[in-house]
Amino acid sequence: MTTVSQLRNGITRRDTFRWGVGLAAAAALAGCGASSGSASTDSLTAWDWSPAPDVWGEGQQTTFYSKTFPKRYPKLHYSYTIYGYTDVVPKLTVAWRGGSTPDVARVVNASCPQFVNEGLTAEITESDLGIPFSNFWPQALQSVRKSGASSGPLYGIPTNNEAMMVIYNKDLFKQAGLDPSHGPATWTDLVRYSKTVKQKTGKYGYGLVGVQNNGNTPYRFCPMMWAHGGSIFDELTPNPTWKKVGINSPGTVAALELYHQLYSVDASVQPSALSDQESDVATLFTKGEVAMMIDHPAAGTQVLQAQPDFNLGADLIPAGPVRRAVVFGGSNLLIRAGTPNMKSALSLVRTYLDPYTDTLLAGLASNPGNKAGLKTSAQKMRDAKMFFNQVTLQMMPYGVNVPLVAQGTQIWTETIPTMIQNVLTKAMTPAQAAANAESQIHQIMG
């Protein structure tokens, strides 16, 4: 018995994209491999979130949950729900703290610590998975260990991982007298490029995201902060404890000073930066009003879908005086601790993490968590549809995790944006804003 409930809030363009060979291949895969119904005859409830606006990725997800997995285990009493991106974590928090379903859920890595550290997720061993843990990125495994440790038991398994890049308008670079064959090498170069574009073309040089209460903001600020040696906790050390607050540092202040330069001194970024999120910047970029932005490869794909003649370039996120860095993104599958359906939950996890299937499920906005998938024909299929994904793969080794603490979401979406806005509105100097953020984090952590 398979029942389906799909709750996708605010998602459009459904049923307007033909999924083609990817779906056919995934369906064919469902008919091979493990023998039908051999894993379990009990129940299973799964939750996931939609990858919209990646329509191709949505198609792969629908095929997996509605065809691939249930066809492999037809005797399983099984149901699944696909939520909107922002809906799954609040609902899962209530459900799992109350000891209720689902048995397995996919959660973005930034939100996993609250479930893992509360003991709400089951340990998954290498023998349970049947895949060497060495197949996964170390940063991804860190996000499913208690206290964000660099080693130890895993309480979830990575499904997909990604990093961002600089995407730029080659035509605006040419008009500004900049070399269009590459992006800015350093953050100082980015500030200089932005000023040059504004002076020479009248367009904004860089799309700055400064909106409050939104994860988009630190995703673009923290790489600059880390590049200058700043940190939130001690996440840049080989074995972070996540107890030492490091945000009030010269590196953080240096990054805030560059933001001040972009927004208040040079005025080379859009004046709406204080309220703009990623989608607003992407719109300005697509219209040719902004020369550079930081985003995922999928953003480049969307630009070219809207403007096929757009002269698009992409490069690594700039380096700083200390390092090059990017936020390490992705998601993990978590199994509810104490579920009576552990055997079936592991069956779903293993099916999902098959290299070919996992690669399809990464869609066009991410990459497979199981790195073996990068060598499959599914990856070749994705490569034909994606732009600049090789830049993402080059950025992955520079990835740094978001705060792997239970209070991480509040620090990430509120404290860091507040610090930035205090500088951009001139309410505080960069040094004062960093000190204030340190005080806030100590209060949040108790």
| Residue type (1 letter), 213 | N
Q: Can you give the pLDDT of all 446 residues of the chain as single tens digits?
A: 333 433 333 332 333 232 333 333 333 333 333 333 444 448 999 999 999 888 899 999 999 999 999 999 999 999 999 999 889 999 999 999 999 999 999 999 989 999 999 999 999 999 999 999 999 999 999 999 999 999 999 999 999 999 999 999 999 999 999 999 999 999 999 999 999 999 999 999 999 999 998 889 999 999 999 999 999 999 999 999 999 999 999 999 999 999 999 999 999 999 999 999 999 999 999 999 999 999 988 888 889 989 999 999 999 999 999 999 999 999 999 999 999 999 999 999 999 999 999 999 999 989 999 999 999 999 999 999 888 999 999 999 999 999 999 899 899 999 999 999 999 999 999 999 999 999 999 999 99
Instruction: Return the number of other C-beta atoms located less than 10 Å from residue 194's C-beta.
Output: 26
The pLDDT, as a whole number, for residue 33 is 36
Q: What domains can be seen in the chain, in order of their start residue?
A: 2-155+329-400 (3.40.190.10), 165-326+404-445 (3.40.190.10)
The pLDDT, as a whole number, for residue 113 is 92
423 is written with which tokens? Answer: 């500088």
185: Cα separation from own chain's centroid: 23
Cα 328 to Cα 317: distance, rounded to the nearest angstrom: 13
The pLDDT, as a whole number, for residue 196 is 98
The pLDDT, as a whole number, for residue 179 is 98
What are the DSSP E strand ranges found in 244-339? 290-295, 312-315, 326-327, 329-335
Which of 411, 422, 403, 404 minimizes the C-alpha distance to 444?
Answer: 411
377 torsion bin: left (phi>0), alpha (psi -120 to 50), beta (else): alpha
Q: Are 392 and 162 within 8 A, CB to CB?
A: yes
Q: Are 144 and 155 within 8 A, CB to CB?
A: yes
pLDDT in tens, 332-365: 999 999 999 999 999 999 999 999 999 999 999 8
The pLDDT, as a whole number, for residue 130 is 96
pTM: 0.86
Q: Are 4 and 79 within 8 A, CB to CB?
A: yes
**DSSP state, residue 50:** -
Burial class (CB in 10 A: 0-12, 13-18, 19+), 16: exposed
Residue 65 to residues 59, 77, 91, 431, Cα–Cα distance (Å): 10, 13, 20, 50
The pLDDT, as a whole number, for residue 96 is 97
Residue in the block written with tokens 């939104």: 214
CA 309, 15, 369: angle at the middle one, nearest 5? 75
